[in-house]
Structure 1
Amino acid sequence: MSVNSTSTLNRAEQLRQRRAQKTASRASAARKSAPLKSPVGTKTGPSFFSRGYQASTSVPLRKIPPMRVRRQYYYPLGSSGAEIRLPAIPLVKPGTRLISAILLVLCAMVLYTLAFSDQFEVQSFQVTGLQRLSYADVEAVLRLEGSQIIEFDPGHAREALRAAFPELASIDIQVGIPAEVTLQVTERQPVFMWDKGDQVYWLDAEGVILPPRGDAEGLIRIESNITPPLTFIDLPAKSGAENSSSDSPTALWGQQVDALLLKAINDLVFRLSPESNLVYNSIYGLGWQDPRGWEVYIGKNLENFEQKLTVYESIVEYFEKMGIHPQELVSIEFINAPFYK
């Protein structure tokens, strides 16, 4: 029994010695492979060093931002050389978001002021160039008084005035701040009066049909049983240049009379005597009232105007020679086939 126990103890001691040698060799190998690091900035402590351990990881030092030195301002006190130190005013550097927010607020304030402030409310406006129209007529269309200047649209106002008043040849609108509106207009001057019997139209020198407003003296009267014939461009849906008597009078305002008809009317005005009134018939066309007591018609085709007048002069000489006195009319619409009633 003693021999076996002694041999068992010897073997146990040998195992412990071998384990201790292996542990010591591993520790020495680890110390040789890992270089020693400074304990400053490493996660070490007394317990690690006291037990023979060394830190294997390190924690980087926290970067301390540089201290901003506040600028100072030194103010000299006379010639003694003494100075007083004053803190400088800090510079504010706003970001883009702050600048955008400030601009947005300012724009909102400006828009609110323009939309609701009494300072930008139009109390009245100036109109120059009116003759037959009045300030009240223009205001009834624009409705400008009491509105904000930001709501006023000059282009829309110009179109509204042209639609309501075809006698306006030109319209110039100027807008000023805070609430100034100035209109300068030019009215067309009527020259002819087209008398249909139940309706009267005015025509200017360019043949534009105008509504009769106010008083106009010295107009050349044209008696007719139809409304003024218009150009083919203005009435593309109609087969001819005539209008039916049922057309609305206001629908013709601003339209233009046929150019050939207007030229023939102007020629007749300079050729006829002042007491000869012009006429226009839906069947016989353009003509005039002869002082001898009958009507003369040159027709609707006014291309051979000069020849027709020459033929009529010859017919009048024939009437005087033969003692013929027409009771109703003389038609020279067709040069080769004139007739009288």
Structure 2
Amino acid sequence: MPTGRAMRLPTGPRRDEVRMARRRRRGRRQQFEQSVSLALGGRRVAEPVPLRPAWVLGGLGVAALLGLALWVALSPRFYVTGVQVVGANHISEAAVFAASGLAHLHILWVNAEEAEARLLAQLPSVERAEVSCHLPAACTIEVVERVPILTWDIGERLLWVDAAGGAFPADHPLEGRWLIGGPLPTDERGLVDREVLLGLAELTRLGVRPGRVVYRPGRGLVLDDPAGWRVILGQGAGMERRLQVYAAVRAHLLARGIHPRFVDVRFPEAPYYSEVNEW
């Protein structure tokens, strides 16, 4: 009866090779088991990507910026609803604000230079304008007004006139200044005729008390004499000579009891008067 034999494990190098083979088979089996857990229905499922703190913070930052942008764009706090006006003495703050074009404008769309240009174009009485704005919607308009030297009554309304000839609406006559009645003579730039202003300036310098004067096209400045007639002085330089001639003519008329309807001294070398004609 045959007897069993015990199997003898290889020794030496042979034994080491067997151990290495077993380890390789065990490793392949573990890899296979790991790969099976990642497959569903024959399709590989990607492993979830871990969230990094930097990505989270970046996303929150973008969301915050978008929210801030929407708030600035839509909040009524950033729309100009009023301004502070500095330097306006003869025009109202409401008129300055309306002329600036800033009403209901978002602060981010405010253009100071354009607002200043609109002010100068729409308010002839303003010589200079400066606009400054800051968040949330605070704007200041500083203006320098032209100094009026006389009032012009064109019938339906009053105008103030400055030394440069600029005319702008007024609500009352200037006290102690010339009040001119009649059509407004202007040049191609829309300024009051310089010859008229020069004539008035000379009369003031010569001591003629400012008061009401009539301007008549073609004849110039016309004053009323207390004796009851009109004095046509014309315009431009030479008022001193005209007044001298008029004084002589007036003395002649009073001495002879003559009461003309007017005396014309526009041309001092040839003065004349009329007892019949209106002009």
Identify the match of residue 322 of structure 1 among 242, 253, 256. Answer: 256
User: Paired residues, what number?
Assistant: 219
Structure 2: runs of 5 or more not aligned? 1-53, 55-61, 275-279
- Report the residue type matching 1:295 in the other structure: R
Question: How far apart are the structure 2 equivalents of 1:168 and 1:198?
Answer: 23
Which residue number in structure 2 is paired with residue 246 of structure 1? none
- 1:210 matched to 2:210? The reply is no
TM-aligned CA deviation for residue 173 of structure 1: 0.8
Deviations 1:241-283 (A, max 9, x none): xxxxxxxxxxxxxx32122210111221343543853221123
- CA positional deviation for 1:304: 3.2
**In structure 1, what is the equivalent of residue 230 of structure 2?**
295
> Counterpart amino acid of 1:294?
W
Paired residue for 1:266, among 167, 184, 201?
A: 201
Across the aligned residues of Structure 1 and Structure 2, the Cα RMSD in angstroms comes to 3.5
Alpha-carbon spacing, 1:188–1:213, altered in 2? closer, same or farther (3 Å): farther
Amino acid at match of 1:230: T
How far, CA to CA, are the matches of 2:177 and 2:268 in structure 1? 31
**Native 8 Å contact 1:276 1:289 kept in 2:** no
Rg larger for: 1
Structure 2 residue 126 is the aligned partner of structure 1 residue 126:
no
- Distance in 1, matches of 2:152 and 2:67, equals 58
Q: Give the structure-2-normalised TM-score.
A: 0.64
Unaligned ranges ≥5, structure 1: 1-91, 93-103, 235-254
Relative to 1, partners in 2 of residues 1:262 and 1:311: Cα closer, same or farther, differing over 3 Å? Answer: same
Aligned to 2:27: none
Q: Is the 8 A contact 1:276 1:290 kept in 2?
A: no
Question: Secondary structure of the residue that 1:207 maps to in structure 2?
Answer: coil
Q: Residue by residue, what CA displacement relative to the aligned partner does 1:159-217 show, whole Å, maximum 9, x if unpaired?
A: 22223321112211112233321111122343322223344322123321111246754
Change (3 A) 1:217 1:337: closer
Separation (CA, whole Å) in 2 of partners of 1:214 and 1:156: 31
Q: Deviations over 1:213-240 (max 9, x none)?
A: 467544421122xx22123x42xxxxxx
Tell me the residue number matched to 1:242.
Answer: none
* SS in structure 1 of the partner of residue 120 of structure 2: helix
Structure with more contact order per residue of length (Cα contacts < 8 Å, sep ≥ 6): 2
* Distance in structure 1 (CA, Å) of the matches to 2:207 and 2:256: 24
TM-score normalised to structure 1 length? 0.54
**Equivalence for 2:268:** 335
